[in-house]
Structure 1
Amino acid sequence: MKVTQPKPVTGLVSLWRNGNFLALWLAQVFSQIGDKVYLVLMIALLDQQFAAQESITPLVSGIMVAFTIPAVLFGSLAGVFVDRWRKQRVLLTTNLLRGILVLLIIPGFWFQWQPLVNWVFLLGITFFVSTLTQFFAPAEQAVMPLIVPQEQLLSANSLYTTTMMGSLILGFALGDPLLSMAAQVLPQGRELVVAGAYLLAALLLVRLHPQEQGTATGVHTLAQVGRDLREGWSALRAKPQLGGAVAHLIVLYTVFAALTVLTIQLAEQLLRPSQFGFLLAAAGAGVAVGALLLNVLRAWSYRRLSAVGSLVMGGALAGLAAATHSLPWALIGNLALGMGAALVAIPLQTLLQTETPEEVRGKVFGLQNNAVNIALSLPLAVTGLIATRVGLAETFLGLAGLVILMAIWRGR
């Protein structure tokens, strides 16, 4: 089946003049920063509550689990509802409610409960914040083709991905000093900063007015939910290029989740474990370079771009296997890895947006979100054990083989 080719874009100037895109893009920036700084906030609160405890790692792990469970349980189901609700309302409401949930931490701590009770309270808040995020993600992807012309989607996704990686780096790198400064201004300043990011995203989304088709009133029965989920799977099976794109993205996010763990071990050899962010920042810079490179390669097909991107990633991972004792080469390897990832992720996400019928976009992106979250979770659990048993370099080589196989499959 023929895959849609990227069309020439008119440049970023047209995107900046698109008020709907500007509102969505800025809301995404603040929402992403809120998500990343939220995790930093949870660690800071646990460190404060359990200051006398030798290690808070098990407690932090509990927060991570509470953040991950909704992604696995509700990722696909959320897409069913997104297709039946107004996307703009979903985007606005989920950010508004996440901001309110973070604000609830302030009165929740007024009761001076025991630290363990506070931890359970934070687990609950985290679970509901993450649950709302599962509705935000597919609605965000589904609304993009409604506000951006098809010929500009590749540029829009390039900008989106670049700022997403920037938010990731800034959120984790600047989260702690930002929250520390806020706490010096107001006792509850940390909570206000995170809640403010979500609420500002909601305020920006008031200006979003996509041209949506009529939506159904809701989902009433389990049988109806099942039919809607099967409709999403049917859309992926009906167009093999969509299923192939989702499979390729799963491999991509599996590699990046594994990279997060391996980078910490690499930092132990080259820097300090706490400085692993420098290596991840190089990968983020690579994503930005790859996004810019797409404007030069926009005449290539999506399939060719993703195949070449996978080969670049494979070469970068093989290079990292040989750079476990060289900081400059490790930084270059991460830079190349990020660049290859951009060549894979951005065209494939654009392909999904353009080829998926509007009436099932929420279901397809919900299924994608669910699969990607599982792909992000499993490597976090097993990569460290594998690297300890077989070696860091060998694990990098194994990941290189995986992405090269995907490149060969996609390039057929």
Structure 2
Amino acid sequence: MIGVLRHRDFSLLFWGGLVSVAGDWMLFAVLPYVVYARTGSTIATAGMTVAELAPGIVLGSVAGVLVDRWDRRRLLVVVNLLQGLVVLALLAFVADSSLLPVVYAVAAAQSALSAFSMPAENALLPTLVGPDELVPANALNALNNRVGRLGGLALGPVVYAVGGLGAVTVADAVSFVVAATLVALMRTRPVPPEEPAEPGRFFVEWRDGIALVHRERSIAVLFVVFALMTFGGTMLDPLQAPWVRDVLGGGAGLYALLKAVHAASGIAGSVVVGALGARLSPRLLCGAGSLVACVLLLVRFNVPLVAVAVALSAIAGAVAVGSSVGVETLAQQRVPEPYRGRVFGTLQAMIWAASLLGAVVGGVGAEWIGVVAMLDVASALVGLAGVVVLLALPADRSGAVVR
């Protein structure tokens, strides 16, 4: 696993991502609280979620065309710098708490810029490591995200206590600049496009990317898998706290404990998956991982014992990493390099849409059929994703697109 970091360009991308993720989560740890504290409105806080997702849903597919046209390394540098500049606009909200539209504008702008950076990073990563190193590389990315998230969540409140929202905002902006600097040091060069990019061909290129998803069975199956995993997983999020309180009879301390155990298990799982890397089949990682996760979730939610909840959370975090690393690796393997920006852009837009819909359906559905029943539905969707992978996705050892 550590051997993958010997690739200089991948290592720079890894450390840049870690810094950026930590900076983002420092801000995420305090901004919703500040918004609610200053407005007293749950609607105002929920509006942030819409602002964070909507632009990416609209722009993802279109942005992917430009990701395939442009030098992805330079694109990541520019986007990180722009994100650092945009987040500084929050300093206006620091000075005047009535400027809530500034928060929404920043969230929307960050979402729009992420519509470029996320597919660019996913498209760039397979060019930085060998084909047999994709699983450990994606496992390191999963480790990167989890460590950065935990670090940011821990540092955010501390920085806020010392310097207020302004200090947290500046720290997040600096993290983007550091990430941009590290990516700029990469030596990778863009793969020449099959055809010269012409302004008039923009719609044709966009349509070709969409057509590939419909034409290639394995890619279409992966879209279904991502949709099921995201929709089911996001349905779980708004129901965890009510389940802890109303079913387990616990409080905020138990809720935080379960979250911490799950996160720590995810870090351990990233290390294990990365270490075994080349010996693991991405298809089996995703398929079997999703099925095991489904069983763990169903037992956890239907056997309301604290000890069971803690134990299964410890296992589930590691299993979730294996499943997500598997499906990400499959997508990178089976999408042709010239189309990766368009396919990953469209995929990211679909993931954001499924996230928004899953959160809404989970919250509303629990009011109709109960928290536990809705958690069971969400768990079953996660398991269904595993069934789809194992039954509908052909095994392909070469990593090429399968028709």
CA contact 1:81–1:219 (8 Å) conserved in 2: no
Tell me, what secondary structure is at the counterpart of 2:187? coil
Summarize the alignment of residues 224-373 of structure 1 with structure 2, pairs less than 5 Å apart: 224-269=201-246, 270=248, 271-273=250-252, 276-294=255-273, 295-296=275-276, 298-323=278-303, 325-373=304-352
CA RMSD of aligned residues (A): 2.4
Tell me which residue corresponds to 1:72. Answer: 57
Tell me which residue corresponds to 1:62. Answer: 47
For 1:107 and 1:217, locate their aligned partners in 2 and report how far apart those are by CA, in whole Å.
43
The residue type paired with residue 68 of structure 2 is: D
Tell me, what secondary structure is at the counterpart of 1:148? coil
For 2:198 and 2:366, locate their aligned partners in 1 and report how far apart those are by CA, in whole Å.
45
CA contact 1:102–1:125 (8 Å) conserved in 2: yes
The residue type paired with residue 328 of structure 2 is: Q
The residue type paired with residue 93 of structure 1 is: V
Q: Which moved more, 1:138-147 or 1:289-298?
A: 289-298
2:15 counterpart (5, 19, 26): 26
CA contact 1:95–1:199 (8 Å) conserved in 2: yes
Tell me, what secondary structure is at the counterpart of 1:211? coil
CA contact 2:238–2:359 (8 Å) conserved in 1: yes
Tell me which residue corresponds to 2:400. Answer: none
CA contact 2:283–2:389 (8 Å) conserved in 1: yes
CA contact 1:81–1:218 (8 Å) conserved in 2: no
Tell me, what secondary structure is at the counterpart of 1:188? helix
Question: Which digits, 9 at most, give the CA deviation of each residue in 1:352-381, with x for residues without a partner?
Answer: 212221111100110110111111111111
2:153 is the alignment partner of 1:172? yes
Tell me, what secondary structure is at the counterpart of 1:190? helix
The residue type paired with residue 138 of structure 2 is: N
Tell me which residue corresponds to 2:178. Answer: 200
Change in Cα spacing, 1:219 to 1:177, as seen in structure 2 (3 Å) is farther
Tell me which residue corresponds to 2:395. Answer: none
2:75 is the alignment partner of 1:94? no
2:84 is the alignment partner of 1:105? no
Q: Percent identity?
A: 23
For 1:333 and 1:238, locate their aligned partners in 2 and report how far apart those are by CA, in whole Å.
40
Runs of 5+ consecutive residues of structure 2 not aligned to the other structure: 392-403
Deviation at 1:274, TM superposition (A): 7.7
Question: Which digits, 9 at most, give the CA deviation of each residue in 1:100-159, with x for residues without a partner?
Answer: 11223335755x5xx44x001221122112211111100010110111111111111011
2:123 is the alignment partner of 1:137? no
2:37 is the alignment partner of 1:37? no
- The runs of 4+ residues in structure 1 deviating greater than 4 Å are 107-110, 215-219
For 1:180 and 1:217, locate their aligned partners in 2 and report how far apart those are by CA, in whole Å.
53
Question: Which digits, 9 at most, give the CA deviation of each residue in 1:249-290, with x for residues without a partner?
Answer: 222222221221121212324433586343233333333343
Change in Cα spacing, 1:408 to 1:120, as seen in structure 2 (3 Å) is closer
1:128 counterpart (109, 115, 120): 109
Deviation at 1:98, TM superposition (A): 0.9
Deviation at 1:47, TM superposition (A): 5.0
For 2:333 and 2:150, locate their aligned partners in 1 and report how far apart those are by CA, in whole Å.
29
Tell me which residue corresponds to 2:70. Answer: 85
Deviation at 1:91, TM superposition (A): 0.7
For 1:94 and 1:66, locate their aligned partners in 2 and report how far apart those are by CA, in whole Å.
18
The residue type paired with residue 64 of structure 1 is: T
Deviation at 1:45, TM superposition (A): 4.3
Deviation at 1:44, TM superposition (A): 4.9
Tell me, what secondary structure is at the counterpart of 2:199? coil
Tell me, what secondary structure is at the counterpart of 1:411? helix
For 2:196 and 2:268, locate their aligned partners in 1 and report how far apart those are by CA, in whole Å.
43
For 2:208 and 2:77, locate their aligned partners in 1 and report how far apart those are by CA, in whole Å.
26
1:147 counterpart (122, 128, 133): 128
Deviation at 1:77, TM superposition (A): 1.2
Change in Cα spacing, 1:107 to 1:333, as seen in structure 2 (3 Å) is same
2:142 is the alignment partner of 1:161? yes
For 2:119 and 2:347, locate their aligned partners in 1 and report how far apart those are by CA, in whole Å.
8
Deviation at 1:86, TM superposition (A): 0.8
2:8 is the alignment partner of 1:12? no
Q: Which moved more, 1:308-317 or 1:347-356?
A: 347-356
Deviation at 1:19, TM superposition (A): 1.3
Tell me, what secondary structure is at the counterpart of 1:214? coil
Tell me which residue corresponds to 2:397. Answer: none
